[in-house]
Amino acid sequence: MKFLFDSDTWQEIYGSIRKNKLRTGITIVGVLWGIFILVVLLGAARGMENNFKRIFGDFATNSVFMWTQRTDMPFKGFQKGRRFNLTFKDIEVLEKEYANEIKLLAPRNQTNGTVVKDFKSGDFQVSGDYPVLDRVQKKDLIYGRFLNQNDIKNNSKVCVISEDMYKQLFDKMEMPIGQYVKISNVNYKVVGVYKPSNTIDIDGDTAYIPFTTFQKVYNTSNKVDWMMITANEGVDIKQMEKDILLTLKNLHKVHPEDKRAFGSVNLGDQIDKLMGFLTGMQFLTWFVGIATLIAGVFAIGNILLITVKERTKEIGIRRALGATPRSIRRQIVLESVFLTTVAGMLGIIFGGFVLFLLDRLVGSGDDPTLVNPTVNIPIVMLAFLILVILGTLIGLIPAYMATVVKPIEALREE
């Protein structure tokens, strides 16, 4: 290890680099670019993944939404184009048959209505819901509370409104809790104000009232507009969706092959597709990054081969003066490792700087593109270690070429 601290060794390396500044600079840039690309692409992929998690953060991601449409096939005496509705009987059957698979089931009814407070008014969506909705998508409450079981039991005329509704209907700094608003000519007591999610939001600005109150006010009886179902952990959400749709088709006498009678959106399936895309992107990032690294390292090997060729006479003189083949090999390999190490460190530094800029430019605000685009330190160190190992291995080729030439032949080299 003494040669690492030998000033003559580093003077020779410096002299070799100084003689070929342009060539050495281009080589370093080639290796630097490889690890730079790897760091930036991995950081961007992590930023996209974090953004997807942010978007779906408030939602139970293994969820599926279902509603009815027109039938597309005649079945058991019913004509094509029949309309039908989900009912509470459907909810009871699903809760019984899929008790082990279903974690949360939220039946929902919705309509449009005019919300009035004193002389201010606005048209908003009105939704009849159960408290379980807050577990499917957590509401970020600014004031008060969400609907509870007593509201359902007592058919209470209470509502939870959005922050935008509060700003539009109430005076600035006015406390909304306990005050009344009129929705479709019915008075409701405001018990909560929520902040609309800056992630996935299927409702927008909605006034939430108890499901049972919605039934009575709008005379919907046992009708259910649509439902949100969340599966237990470990349940195949896609298979559960197929099974539930088949059960509902049997209950409503719909042809088993009818693809249009029910509409559904499988949130878990969509997230799986996004995660698959991210996995593919990460694989491509590693492939491109490592391929670029290898190309850069081979460039170093080529540069050193040329350098060895140019220094043939010098190497011959050193051999004639007693330098061993081992010392010459060591010198060439050390030069290779030095170049790859410097290039790797610069690539990591520049890559980290670019990720910092990306975080500042597109990683903040209400709708960021990349969230916290970073790379794990162990991954960076692994890439750097791979780079140094490759630099060592590639340096062995010119090192070997430098020692196979006999001293007398090297001295004759013009």
Band the pLDDT of 86: cuts 50, 70, 90.
Answer: very high
- Are residue 336 and residue 219 in the same domain, yes or no? no
In a domain? residue 75: no
* Range scoring the smallest mean pLDDT among 59-73, 231-245, 260-274, 360-374: 360-374
- Are residue 113 and residue 216 in the same domain, yes or no? yes
Instruction: Provide the residue range defining the domain that includes 336.
Output: 2-57+272-411
* Identity at 406, one-letter amino acid code: K
Name the domain boundary from 161, 196, 226.
Answer: 226
- Are residue 142 and residue 196 in the same domain, yes or no? yes
Q: What is the distance between the alpha carbons of residues 145 and 190, in angstroms, rounded to a whole number? A: 10
In a domain? residue 360: yes
In a domain? residue 334: yes
Q: What is the pLDDT of residues 158-176, one digit of tens each?
A: 999 999 999 999 998 899 9
Q: What is the pLDDT of residues 307-353, one digit of tens each?
A: 666 666 666 666 666 666 676 667 777 777 777 788 888 888 998 89
> Average pLDDT, stretch 118-126?
91
Name the domain boundary from 226, 257, 292.
Answer: 226
- Are residue 222 and residue 353 in the same domain, yes or no? no
- Higher pLDDT among residues 203 and 19, named by residue: 203
Asked if 60 contacts 106 with a C-beta cutoff of 8 angstroms, the reply is no
- Are residue 115 and residue 37 in the same domain, yes or no? no
Q: How much is the pLDDT for 89?
A: 92
- Are residue 278 and residue 407 in the same domain, yes or no? yes
Cβ-based neighbours of 331, under 8 Å, separated by 6 or more: 9, 12, 13, 399
pLDDT greater than 90 at residue 258: yes
pLDDT greater than 60 at residue 404: yes
> Average pLDDT, stretch 89-103?
92
Q: What is the pLDDT of residues 39-65, one digit of tens each?
A: 888 888 888 878 777 766 555 568 889
> Average pLDDT, stretch 117-121?
90
Q: What is the distance between the alpha carbons of residues 350 and 258, in angstroms, rounded to a whole number? A: 56
- Are residue 130 and residue 213 in the same domain, yes or no? yes
In a domain? residue 126: yes
- Are residue 279 and residue 407 in the same domain, yes or no? yes
Name the domain boundary from 198, 226, 254.
Answer: 226
pTM above 0.85, yes or no: no
* Identity at 18, one-letter amino acid code: R
State the maximum Cα–Cα separation within the chain, in Å, rounded to a whole number: 108
Q: How much is the pLDDT for 3?
A: 46
Looking at every residue in the chain, the average pLDDT score rounds to 82
Helix H or strand E segment including 31: helix 21-55
In a domain? residue 121: yes
| Torsion sign over Cα 233, 236, 239, 242 | positive
Half-sphere exposure of 149 (CA within 13 A, CB side): 0
In a domain? residue 263: no
How many domains does the chain contain in total? 2
pLDDT greater than 60 at residue 2: no
- Are residue 278 and residue 377 in the same domain, yes or no? yes
- Are residue 40 and residue 152 in the same domain, yes or no? no
In a domain? residue 356: yes
For residue 25, the tally of other CB atoms under 10 A from its CB is: 11
> Average pLDDT, stretch 389-406?
69
